[in-house]
Structure 1
Amino acid sequence: MVSREACIERIEAICKSFRIDSLMPQIRAGEEVLREHGVVDVAVLGQFKAGKSSFLNALIGRDVLPVNVLPATAVITRIGHGPAERTLVRYLAGRHEEIPLEDLPEFVTEQRNPGNEKEVSIVDVELPALEEFRGMRFVDTPGLGSVFAHNTKVSMEWLPRVGGALVAVSVGRPLSEQDLNLLLEVFRHTPETAILLTKADLVSGSQLDSVVEFTRQQIVRHTGKDVAILPFSIRPGFEPLRGAVRDHIFRRIVHRREETFEEIVNHKIRFLIGGCRQYLALANHAAEASGKAREELREVLTREDRDLGAVKSEIGLQVRDLGSSVRTTAGERFHSYHREVLDRMDRRLREVEKGWTGNLAKVTRTFREWLLEALEEELAEVSFYGETHLAGFLVAAQSSFQRSVRAFQDRLAKELERALGISFTGAQFHAEIEEPARPDVRVGQTFDTQIDLLWFLIPMTIFRSLAFRHFRKQIVWEVEKNLSRLASQWADAVNRSIGGLARQSLEFMQD
């Protein structure tokens, strides 16, 4: 019997010979899973702020993973059993270092490691308390649907390596189109999948039953699969729900880990064989097709290429409509912080102004330095909410463009089946969202040129109150101006990302 390693090697050789590049991530994932020697990675996947990290903390019984009101996780984190508490940071360059567990947020959160600027590949956490889960690891993943490319990209690139999958869906917005798309992708990589219905405390018992049944029906309707649905809440009083989730994990994975591992590996190999066979069948049918069939195929490709012009116009219209909405929403949302920021700036000024001494020139320089630093801190905090305010537009664009690509692929598949007599699903399209650049802060002159010339002639003992009244007026103007710039830059950045999604869609169809 051919070993699984040899089977994957053979598939890789075929894919390289026929340039089937789309299967290479799955091949690499299969090789990596086999190197784990039976360890099952159970990943918690889902949209950002679906409660993934909170769920894992509750299951582990300890606040290991950072949580935040804003999207927090930016790096894959694996948590499993070990003889001693240990946290190992693995970098993209290949090196690794051990850190204290309390330093974990410095490496895995968007706030402390924005854009993964520290170039972390993955972080492994080992805890003696997880002995009952020996042989498996929990995997915390960055949320999908984020405006940050590295968050969505990291999760989607890691997905082929998944062992078991818990797809987290908030009870407040059960089963969106994005969740269904994620489920379909997960099914390609593992047979061990369940829905984690988080934040179950937000609804009553009867409402929760309705949400569970609705979720089940929608999954069966759209995927044809019936998966376990596990309501969950971290709140007191919901211990039975937490116990049911633990029982599911023990029953499906812990108590039958070796069998589960075999099923997962075999599933991945069957997927690879099926994908490889489909591409080879298409190439073979195209080579053997009659002259008439080939001509029909050429006509189909020519017609679809011509129809791309209409698709391009449709996507262009969507880009313009979304761009206008993004700019309006960004202005409204960021300017809503105006009073809040002003109040904090005023309190900060009162705390430091008494210590500013010297003539007007010196005090003005001190004020401008303070103003720049204070504004940067205040607006950096406000800027981080751009993720929450504007992510919906990128998710909408991503979903819309993916539907356009899917419709194009479906039309082409039907024509291929008619011309060559075979079915072909084609490569999977995943649009990647480009990360918006971080906005900056600019502070203008405090006084005009005429007053600047008189700096050394104006005694602060007489004009101090007048000067600080002027300072406070400038704060009002600078906050208003920089909030406008913040809104504009976020709108520009998100619209660039939407344009990038559109380009990816059209390039995919053209290729």
Structure 2
Amino acid sequence: MGTYRELQDALERQLQQLAQLPELKGPNLQRLMDKLRTNRFNLVVLGAFKRGKSTLINALLGEAVLPTAIVPLTSVVTILGYGESLKIMVHFQNGQTREITQPELADYITEKGNPHNQKGVREVEIEYPCEYLKDGVRIIDTPGVGSVYSHNTDVAYNYLPQVDAAIFVVTVDPPLSAAEQEFLKDIREYVHKLFFVLNKIDYVETGDRQEALDFTTAVLKENLSADRVMIFPISAKLAMAGKSNGHPEYLKSSQLPVFEEHLRQFLYQEKGRVLLISCLNGALKTITDSTLGLKVERQASGLPLQELEEKIARFNLELQGLEKEREMSLLLLDGRVKGVIKDLDADLEAFKRETTARLRREVEQTFHQKSRLAGDLRKEMEEYLFSALRDVFITWRRQEIDKLSQTLTATHQEFAGRINAILERLAQSTARIFDFSLRGFAAEEAFTELSSFWFRFKDDPVGLEILQMTVTSLLPRALTKGLLLKKLLENVTELVDKHCGRLRYDFHQKLQEIARDFRQTWLAKIDDTTQSIREALERARTQKQSSTQATKEKTGELDRRLEEILQAEAQLLALKDRIEATFH
């Protein structure tokens, strides 16, 4: 579906061809192909209700997948990704999951069908067979910014650091609200990946559109403190009619295709190029490893046995030095992870103190307000306390994940850099000992951006359903108002402390898993390279027991295999030049 897809397909074909070569069989190329196929461009859609967000998403998809409503949506986030057929999964806050049909969707993600999110929905995932999504885009639909439901804006804001691009939907009428303008001021730091869509241009005369565009641009620049903003006038309604009913003139009039092309180019330029080059360099690294073993075997086969043994001894000595560097890298990684955990614990302790004090004040104020009107005061306070605890924990957790993701990305880059340096010294030392030339070392990039760490932590805090049951169990059935308030205030501290403990355990477990993945992924590269060289040397040593003719035939075979791999390498390098030229 465009230049990026063509380059992705071309690279995947070359990786498949490489995987057929005996020397390149193994998990490395398969891992690169999986990374190439499963990567997603995360696109979040923001905007106040009644701006046409759902209609815009449906227009991008080319079909009315999402319900369009005139009332604010709940705090439920909807994630749309590619699937071979329509599949809708509802994920609840208690950890349960349910598959639903499309007609049922409105019962879970709209305020009318799910008022105040009474059904406890965490998020909804939709798989859909759409070309737009098949090209690697994953759309994240957030609640309305500035909605009458206070935590909706927080949900929208918390997704911004984790995505590759964001669409902010405004309309020609009414103008930007005060809530929208405040939101824009808060997200100034993300202006580089914000696209603004001026929707409903079909509502105004052609001559008035430029005036509306100029006015909206000026307001956006002022609120974002930016010299330039990316704003595209469109009609999602016309685009939807054009795509669904086969009216190309409607689609052209909607101006959506112009916006789609700019957005696609941005995503591929920013992230697509990095992904393609990362996978391509990974393949070049695999080729370097395989040719390294072949070249070692080729050179070693021509050496007298005594000289070969001397060179093997030198190689083993080099490995001992590199092993010390490897152990040092592991120690540094462990130290970095311990530092992350220490900072996390300090953040959690500060959060616990501040949250306990604030919630006690808010619970007391709310109690006095409700005690004058409430019919079932105990039940209403239970619901209020759980809602307050849920909102504060979810918000803090997402903010902490953003902070952790940045730290982990830097840690990963540092560790990967150290391992790549060890691999380069291993390759160069081997080439020097066995006296052969080696093409420039191709280090595999540590293609792990913020969103990959964020989605590792993405599931909402474990134990929210336990927290809800605890709120209920801690409040006895029969209490006077005075005792009820006293019990509520006592329980705030206990509830916050218990759930902080659950959060701490959950974070610690995931951090240890991520650190373990770091070690396994990158140390395996050293082990694979070392093992390849050792096996080559052992084959050369064994060959010394063969006849002169057999040795000559083996040398010729090694030369042919090397030539075949080097031809594949030349094709990869040509594709790399093409990718660089395309995204220059």
TM bucket normalised to smaller: 0.5 to 0.7
Separation in structure 2 between the aligned mates of residue 301 and residue 377 of structure 1, nearest angstrom: 58
Q: Are 1:53 and 2:64 counterparts? A: no
Separation in structure 1 between the aligned mates of residue 325 and residue 278 of structure 2, nearest angstrom: 36
Aligned residue among 438, 446, 449 for 2:463: 438
The structure carrying a bigger helix percent of its residues is 2
Counterpart residue number, 1:510: 523
Identity value in percent: 9
Aligned residue among 321, 336, 361 for 1:318: 336
Unaligned runs of 5+ in 2: 1-8, 59-65, 91-96, 111-116, 143-157, 169-185, 197-216, 235-253, 266-272, 301-307, 432-437, 525-584
Q: Which amino acid aligns with 1:10?
A: Q
Q: Which amino acid aligns with 1:140?
A: I
Contact 1:300 1:415 in 2 (8 A): no
Query: Structure 1 pair 410/137, CA: closer, same or farther in 2 (3 Å)?
Result: closer
Contact 1:8 1:27 in 2 (8 A): yes
Query: Structure 1 pair 307/231, CA: closer, same or farther in 2 (3 Å)?
Result: same
Q: Which amino acid aligns with 2:511?
A: I
Q: Are 1:388 and 2:388 counterparts? A: no
Counterpart residue number, 2:147: none
Shift of 1:314: 2.9
Shift of 1:404: 2.9
Counterpart residue number, 1:208: 226
Q: Are 1:410 and 2:420 counterparts? A: yes
Counterpart residue number, 1:307: 325
Contact 1:44 1:138 in 2 (8 A): yes
Larger radius of gyration: 2
**RMSD (Å), alpha carbons:** 5.7
Separation in structure 2 between the aligned mates of residue 475 and residue 134 of structure 1, nearest angstrom: 48
Counterpart residue number, 2:145: none
Deviations 1:186-236 (A, max 9, x none): xxxxxxxxx734579665499534xx7xxxxxxxxxxxxxxxxx735999x
Query: Structure 1 pair 171/286, CA: closer, same or farther in 2 (3 Å)?
Result: farther
* Counterpart secondary structure, 2:193: strand
Query: Structure 1 pair 332/134, CA: closer, same or farther in 2 (3 Å)?
Result: closer
Counterpart residue number, 1:490: 503
* Counterpart secondary structure, 2:188: coil
Counterpart residue number, 1:161: none
Shift of 1:477: 1.1
Q: Are 1:140 and 2:151 counterparts? A: no
Counterpart residue number, 2:258: 247
Separation in structure 1 between the aligned mates of residue 195 and residue 106 of structure 2, nearest angstrom: 26
Q: Which amino acid aligns with 2:342?
A: S
Separation in structure 1 between the aligned mates of residue 293 and residue 410 of structure 2, nearest angstrom: 31
Deviations 1:36-81 (A, max 9, x none): xxxxx9x6537xxxxx2228987885466799998945x44359xx
Separation in structure 1 between the aligned mates of residue 312 and residue 412 of structure 2, nearest angstrom: 29
Unaligned runs of 5+ in 1: 34-40, 47-51, 80-86, 144-150, 157-164, 176-194, 213-229, 236-242, 255-262, 357-366, 456-463
TM-score with structure 2 length normalisation?
Answer: 0.48
Contact 1:76 1:141 in 2 (8 A): yes
Separation in structure 2 between the aligned mates of residue 134 and residue 491 of structure 1, nearest angstrom: 36
Contact 2:329 2:415 in 1 (8 A): no
* Counterpart secondary structure, 1:208: coil
> What pairs up with 1:154-303 in 2 under 5 angstroms?
172-173=188-189, 196-198=193-195, 203-204=221-222, 208-209=226-227, 231-232=230-231, 247=258, 249-250=260-261, 274=284, 277-288=287-298, 290=300, 291=308, 295=313, 297-303=315-321
Instruction: Report the more deviating stretch, 374-383 or 198-207.
Output: 198-207
Separation in structure 1 between the aligned mates of residue 493 and residue 102 of structure 2, nearest angstrom: 45
Aligned residue among 475, 480, 485 for 1:472: 485
Aligned residue among 325, 342, 362 for 1:340: 362
Q: Which amino acid aligns with 1:24?
A: Q
Contact 2:80 2:140 in 1 (8 A): yes
Contact 2:463 2:499 in 1 (8 A): no
Q: Which amino acid aligns with 2:514?
A: L
